[in-house]
Structure 1
């Protein structure tokens, strides 16, 4: 009997999945170095002039390398109201043809939706005082830290909201969402072909819908690991021993993509027809006080 009691006591001391799932994100060791709460702009034109954000990817109105995306990013699809940024997807009245080149070949893509995108302007740069080391001309953003967004999904089949970091060699998807109750988080190593990635998929309970309330998505990126949090509770960690990240600043991106199989008939309907708005309350970046 005594041996059984000792064994039970030992098992109780072991860190199990339940204990890990209850681990909360703490901020006392982090210093806020970037805050965007959309409270200081008169309108989107003022935001375009004074903010660090641009409204489409560098040099293109869509991500040409992703054949599943069916949206044309435009400043007109971003709006501000009551301290929130709305990235709104809508069906275009007629498909818009976008011409680009792939390996020197002229290519056309038909885009059926307009939507919103925010990413740091190229002039944002890297900040050596924060430990960021630019590795090539135009490298911008933040190298390591705690990255966080508070947002509400727009809902509707085929919507693909995301908050992510991108440096070229490394991509960290703090979340990639869908219509309501599921999302994923990912770490990509793009340095080889084919690229390697580590994905975690999350399914919320039936009573919880990401399009009905705001939630906080966070990722802690250090030289040794990437940890993901939902509403400040730990979900999982990807150690560098399993999938390494590259030590270079990554730009911060939030966007509302639309997939080629989107069904706008399932989207919310407003005065101007079907729409789906990813609503962003804030974006924050923290740096570790001292060495991570």
Structure 2
């Protein structure tokens, strides 16, 4: 299920990002050194680690990740759709002090894929064609940014480029200070959403483990190992899916609206690790 791609081109791309990442990191608030790893790795019972990234390198590992979008509903390789106000740029994918920092900034950019001018930029990475798996336990250790209009997320999309399904493991809406987890299922345009909204999780003030236990006909979402919601039924997907992590901004008037003058830029969605397990 895992496909690793090595080569000189990948190494050159990684090297070219290093200097940019170091420069971008100087403009961000320093990330806390104490994260979910302080107590060591917490392996789920009866499962084995199948894929992970601890983000300990100087630049994004291109064997594991792409920065180009490749799923239905996107407007281009670097812009999701009109729900977003942000365009994905490689400069906003920063590795620093053993952490991934997906930056959102309010410097307008002229994009080429698709062509257009965008008010905000975001960081986006995807394991499409690099790693994908059916079922298992999927987890990140992360700290989310605070601010009106911010929309960082950890989600899964099918490797076969279909939509739906989509599993949103941890999707933070800064304007309404609420975390969404849920499943999109069915067929377009008759999409069914099984959603759960949680407040009071303090995702912007500390590091937490956001997890998904995915089994046949059954999904459980967890925060720091504690179940927060469950979905059961035939709508639970049974096909290989891959990881997406991105920062970004909300563009529409609903769900609290887009950023305003109170939103601090640049900001970052910080991730200490991604780990995926399967049954032994």
Q: Shorter-normalised TM-score: what interval?
A: 0.7 to 0.9
Runs of 4+ in 1 over 3 A off after TM superposition: 97-100
Aligned to 2:232: 239
Aligned to 1:61: 78
Pair 1:43-2:59 in alignment: yes
Higher strand share: 1
Per the TM alignment, residue 150 of structure 1 is displaced from its structure 2 partner at its CA by: 0.7
Identify unmatched segments of 5+ residues in structure 2: 1-41, 71-75, 252-256
* 1:195 counterpart SS class: strand
TM-score by length of 1: 0.71
Bigger Rg, which one: 1
Per the TM alignment, residue 98 of structure 1 is displaced from its structure 2 partner at its CA by: 5.5
- Is the Cα contact below 8 Å between 2:149 and 2:263 reproduced in 1? no
Aligned to 1:189: 185
How many Å separate the matches in 1 of 2:259 and 2:67? 24
How many Å separate the matches in 2 of 1:99 and 1:61? 6
How many Å separate the matches in 2 of 1:88 and 1:35? 21
Pair 1:248-2:239 in alignment: yes
- Is the Cα contact below 8 Å between 1:256 and 1:278 reproduced in 2? yes
C-alpha RMSD over aligned residues: 2.2
Aligned to 1:118: 125
Cα displacement string for residues 169-203 of structure 1 (whole angstroms, at most 9, x for unaligned residues): 41110011022842010111142422111000001
- Is the Cα contact below 8 Å between 1:63 and 1:69 reproduced in 2? yes
Call closer, same or farther: CA 1:230–1:80 in 2, change over 3 Å. Answer: same
Aligned length: 224
* 2:151 counterpart SS class: strand
Cα displacement string for residues 15-74 of structure 1 (whole angstroms, at most 9, x for unaligned residues): xxxxxxxxxx981111111111101x2234xx34xx31011312611113xx21011101
How many Å separate the matches in 2 of 1:213 and 1:85? 15
How many Å separate the matches in 1 of 2:249 and 2:49? 32
Counterpart mapping for 1:74-223 below 5 A: 74-92=89-107, 94-96=108-110, 110-122=117-129, 124=130, 141-167=132-158, 168=162, 169-179=164-174, 181-204=177-200, 209-223=202-216
How many Å separate the matches in 2 of 1:264 and 1:37? 34
How many Å separate the matches in 2 of 1:99 and 1:52? 22
* 2:154 counterpart SS class: strand
How many Å separate the matches in 1 of 2:190 and 2:238? 20
How many Å separate the matches in 1 of 2:109 and 2:102? 20
How many Å separate the matches in 2 of 1:221 and 1:266? 38
